[in-house]
Chains A and B, each alone.
Chain A
Amino acid sequence: MLKTMANLKLRVNGRMETVSAAPDTPLLYVLANDLALQGPRFGCGLAQCGSCSVLVNGVETRSCVTPVSAVEGKSVTTLEGLPEWYAAQKKLARAPELHPLQQAFIDEQAVQCGYCFNGMIIKASELLSKNARPSEQEIRSAMNGHLCRCGAYPRVIKAIERAANAMAEVAR
């Protein structure tokens, strides 16, 4: 069946974007190719790993299996837009250069190859927006759908705990 192209309007990282794509195109390919974003990236195309995660209206979503037409009229946040998203959430006057999670991942030197860290940071930002002080067990179960082949899990857990502490300081 011929898939007709359509002009679709998306809000990505606070900006309205118009893209021309077949409506069933997975959001990932639109973000990566049409909008040249580097946060969401291909991992499995099967929603199994979390490499392509973005926030859609604040909810972690696998962009590799989400048709672009399904996010029309919704707000998509990628890794690149996370500091602004955080600032809006916390009603900060200005967006920080880094989301506290990004800073914590640097401080913990949690990265090995770092390819999975898009999904790690997106998922953890969703977690901390709902649960400001998660226990270690809550972190593990929230993050369980995100894989890391390098085995950075212990440092990721520490980085999330560190970010939670830093965000609590800001809130105080």
Chain B
Amino acid sequence: MKRLRRRDFLKTGGALVIGFPLGNAVHAQERGSTAGPPDPKQVDTWLAIHADNTATVFIGFAELGQGNSTSLLQIAADELDLEMSQIKTVRLDTNVTPNQGGTYSSASIQRGGPQLRTASAEARLALLQMASKKLDAPVERLTVANGVVSVKEDGKRSVTYGELVGGKLFNVPFTGSAPVKSPAEYKVVGTRVPRNDVPAKVQGKYVYMQHVRVAGMLHGRVVRPRGQRAYGAGAKVVNLDESSIRGIPGARVVRRGDFVGVVAENEWDAVRAARELKVTWDSAPTLPGNAGLYEQMRASQTNDRVVTERGDVTSALGSAPHVASQICHGPYQAHAPFGPNCALADVKADSALLMCSTQDVYGTRNSLSRLLGLAPEKVRVQYYEGSGTYGHSCYDDVAQAAALLSRLADRPVRLQFMRWDEHGWDNYGPAHVGEVKAAADANGKIVAYEYHGWQHGWVGVETSAQLTGVAVTEFPAGAVMGVSALNCGGMYEIPNKRLVSHMLPAKDYLKGGWLRSPLDLSFSFASEQAIDQLAYLAGSDPYEFRQRNITDARWRGVLDAAAQAAKWTARRAGANRTNAKVVRGRGIGVGTHLASYGAAVAEIEINRETGHVVAKHLYGAIDAGQVVNPAFVENQISGQLVQTASRMFKEEVTFSKTNVTSVDWNSYPILRFEESPEVTAVVVQHLDQRSTGAGEEVMAAAAAAIANAFFDATGVRMKEYPFTPARVLAALKVG
């Protein structure tokens, strides 16, 4: 069965290129009749060679705008000795592409690169062995260029990959034993190949999820109160008046429990019906509201875990000459994808097809399988890129909701979340309270460090499922971010250290999810300000102080790279302070997410009369080991710096005691053109090192650099972000 399927595909020449026009959505359904995942132990699972001497690579990672649908091909191109123009990839599909785990933790290259590299090497070896027979020459005498195998010193004797295996299966096991190339042999890895999705994207030819339509479908909308309640509270229908949409004859209500939606042939009818349907929702207060948030977090019953305990922190803190101590607050922040999530579902009695923008097609297949009561093999999930998601936005929720609407309406349903659905029912990056104490000796060496973090974890049940009556759960505890041993002083040599996570009950708070560099901005905001304060107390330049306390060569390297890019000159923070109306400051910071090394410098400007803060120039450096495409990583750094400025200056989910109140771009402002900083991105390349993530590792450093620049300019340590004018004026007044 599996053989037949792949063979059918081979005939097509792999026309299902990511970013191909709409017609190919239909094509995908004709192919791939068997449920995946395909066997990872077969080379055929990973790539196919076509008769025209081109290759298709099958990848389990989603293109999210980071460029991995190009950079993963660079890896395969080098191992296969193909040009980039000879190689392409296909849409993620649980009937077609391998399961490499979700596109999480910026790890496409880190986890997917080695798999693809070894699979490609295995295929190349098999091709060389075939060529050896065909050309009657030993493998050692063969050389390959652009998929043409020729005999060394006898270039006339040659055969192409396409002639050797085109249109046929390899039928070769993936042993992982074929030798891969050394970095010295790379021609494509490490170079600035342009992204293959950009031309279609700027012409309107790229098919985003929001563009997909199928014959016979209805348009759907969900009906929910504008703004979520506490995670555990869900939303309860008190009264629903179906007659309120009698004036829109094309629309009808579908409902299961508290899950309410409308469907219509015409999209505008669906939009109007969702707006006009009269539903009374339970509005009992279930939340602390912004004003009471941090107090409730500190007062809640917590589940405590010691992350690190080393030396004698208490006595080291008690005896050191320089002690910095601070309690910092970080708000809930939203993913807020620029285009709200969208999904298209065709649910039948015994099978389902879901098109959506999930980061993990197989994970979403499992959750839909539970929701619909269908075996996983009966559910097919296809990935279509949506707008940038930066983590767990509502892509699973919209897929579940579309599936429910389709089942209830007994038709294919395209569901486009409205702005308030996405903003109001997001899995927000959780709020954080960080209490940090750090101490340095008379020589400016950090001797003690203690960090206590209060936060809750991530939701285990999507809103749609919850509203149908599924009880809420938290994400498995082991998978939830606690205090980060890396970002809470992990880069420094500190003999006495204690890190403690105080985990809050998720059901009493807003829905939490992983938001790009989860919690790292908050950890770093607290931690790196304390380190900066020690530098200040010790009378040191903050860059020099960090150099003195870091021994790891890669942390040192990335710190130096950021400082050099910013032309950092040594002086103590605050040495250039003035009483002018508009003051400038500079700051430095280090941080990461899970792996890689990040450093940043910020130059900011503060209007002391209006409280308005702007980042003028942000510098970010990353060491992510082997960087397959430095241009893509520079673009990622640039985006991280701008998004960090947005999160530090603008972004905060607001909520009353009843519900979230930030439900659009006016109530949840983000950074705009007029306040966008100039950015400088630096890639510290290590071709000989393992690749690690590069999509979120500069944000913690940049958040810290911004906070430290504020101190440099004003002599005031900010204890809460975002730095709104009101908060800045209040902080400056207290001093």
B-binding residues in A (CB < 8 A): 1-3, 21-22, 24-26, 29, 32-33, 36-39, 41-46, 48-49, 51, 78-80, 98, 102, 105-106, 109, 111-118, 121, 139-141, 143-157
In the assembly, what is the distance between CA of A114 and CA of B197, in Å? 9
Is the Cβ of B203 less than 8 Å from the Cβ of A148? no
Given contacts A2-B247, A33-B266, A147-B672, 14 further A-B contacts (CB under 8 A): A38-B207, A48-B665, A49-B338, A49-B665, A105-B198, A106-B194, A109-B635, A113-B386, A121-B202, A140-B673, A144-B672, A144-B673, A149-B388, A151-B671
Q: Across the interface, which residues of B come within 8 angstroms of A106, CB to CB?
A: 194, 198-199, 202
In the assembly, what is the distance between CA of A37 and CA of B670, in Å? 28
Q: With A141-B674, A155-B638 in contact, do A150 and B202 touch (Cβ < 8 Å)?
A: no
Q: Which residue of A lies closest to B665 (CB)?
A: A48
Interchain Cβ contacts under 8 Å between A and B, 14 examples: A42-B342, A46-B666, A102-B203, A109-B195, A111-B197, A114-B201, A115-B337, A143-B673, A145-B672, A151-B640, A151-B646, A154-B638, A154-B642, A155-B635
Q: With A45-B419, A151-B642 in contact, do A105 and B387 touch (Cβ < 8 Å)?
A: no
8 smallest A-B Cβ distances: which pairs?
A: A151-B642, A113-B65, A115-B387, A114-B201, A113-B388, A153-B676, A39-B204, A79-B204
Nearest-CB distance from B357 to chain A (Å)? Answer: 10
B336 at the interface (CB under 8 A from A): yes
Q: Which residue of B lies closest to A112 (CB)?
A: B65
In the assembly, what is the distance between CA of A157 and CA of B213, in Å? 34
Q: Across the interface, which residues of A come within 8 angstroms of B386, CB to CB?
A: 113, 115
Is the Cβ of A80 less than 8 Å from the Cβ of B203? yes
Q: With A25-B268, A114-B206 in contact, do A154 and B676 touch (Cβ < 8 Å)?
A: yes
Q: Which residue of A lies closest to B338 (CB)?
A: A149
Q: Across the interface, which residues of A come within 8 angstroms of B338, CB to CB?
A: 43, 49, 51, 113, 115-116, 147-150
Which residues in chain B, 314-348, are within 8 Å of chain A measured between CB atoms? 336-340, 342
Q: Across the interface, which residues of A come within 8 angstroms of B337, CB to CB?
A: 115, 149
In the assembly, what is the distance between CA of A145 and CA of B673, in Å? 8
Q: Across the interface, which residues of B come within 8 angstroms of A2, CB to CB?
A: 247, 249
Nearest-CB distance from B700 to chain A (Å)? Answer: 16
B66 at the interface (CB under 8 A from A): yes
Is the Cβ of A42 less than 8 Å from the Cβ of B674? no
Is the Cβ of A146 less than 8 Å from the Cβ of B673? yes
Is the Cβ of B387 less than 8 Å from the Cβ of A149? yes
What 1/0 mask marks residues of chain B from 634 to 649 whose CB sits below 8 Å from any chain A CB?
Answer: 0110111111001000
Q: Across the interface, which residues of A come within 8 angstroms of B635, CB to CB?
A: 109, 112, 155
Q: With A106-B194, A114-B198 in contact, do A151 and B641 touch (Cβ < 8 Å)?
A: yes
B64 at the interface (CB under 8 A from A): yes
Nearest-CB distance from B231 to chain A (Å)? Answer: 24
In the assembly, what is the distance between CA of A3 and CA of B674, in Å? 41
What 1/0 mask marks residues of chain B from 655 to 686 whose CB sits below 8 Å from any chain A CB?
Answer: 00000000011100011111011110000000
Q: Which residue of B lies closest to A47 (CB)?
A: B665
Q: With A33-B267, A51-B339, A154-B679 in contact, do A111 and B419 touch (Cβ < 8 Å)?
A: no
Q: With A151-B638, A154-B676 in contact, do A115 and B271 touch (Cβ < 8 Å)?
A: no
In the assembly, what is the distance between CA of A118 and CA of B208, in Å? 12
In the assembly, what is the distance between CA of A153 and CA of B678, in Å? 9
B690 at the interface (CB under 8 A from A): no
In the assembly, what is the distance between CA of A36 and CA of B212, in Å? 10
Which residues in chain B, 80-124, are within 8 Å of chain A measured between CB atoms? none
Is the Cβ of A112 less than 8 Å from the Cβ of B210? no
Nearest-CB distance from A18 to chain B (Å)? Answer: 17
Instruction: Tell which of B195, B205, B247, B640 touches A38, judged by Cβ atoms closer than 8 Å.
Output: B205
In the assembly, what is the distance between CA of A102 and CA of B198, in Å? 10
Q: Which of B206, B340, B640, B672 has the most CB of A within 10 A?
A: B672
Instruction: Tell which of A45, A105, A140 touches B202, judged by Cβ atoms closer than 8 Å.
Output: A105
In the assembly, what is the distance between CA of A147 and CA of B668, in Å? 12
Is the Cβ of A115 less than 8 Å from the Cβ of B388? yes
Is the Cβ of A150 less than 8 Å from the Cβ of B207? no
Q: Across the interface, which residues of B come within 8 angstroms of A33, CB to CB?
A: 213, 266-267
In the assembly, what is the distance between CA of A36 and CA of B210, in Å? 12
Q: Which residue of A lies closest to B210 (CB)?
A: A41
Nearest-CB distance from B251 to chain A (Å)? Answer: 11
Is the Cβ of B195 less than 8 Å from the Cβ of A111? yes
In the assembly, what is the distance between CA of A98 and CA of B198, in Å? 13
Q: With A115-B208, A147-B670 in contact, do A109 and B198 touch (Cβ < 8 Å)?
A: yes
Nearest-CB distance from B713 to chain A (Å)? Answer: 22
Q: Across the interface, which residues of A come within 8 angstroms of B64, CB to CB?
A: 113
B390 at the interface (CB under 8 A from A): yes
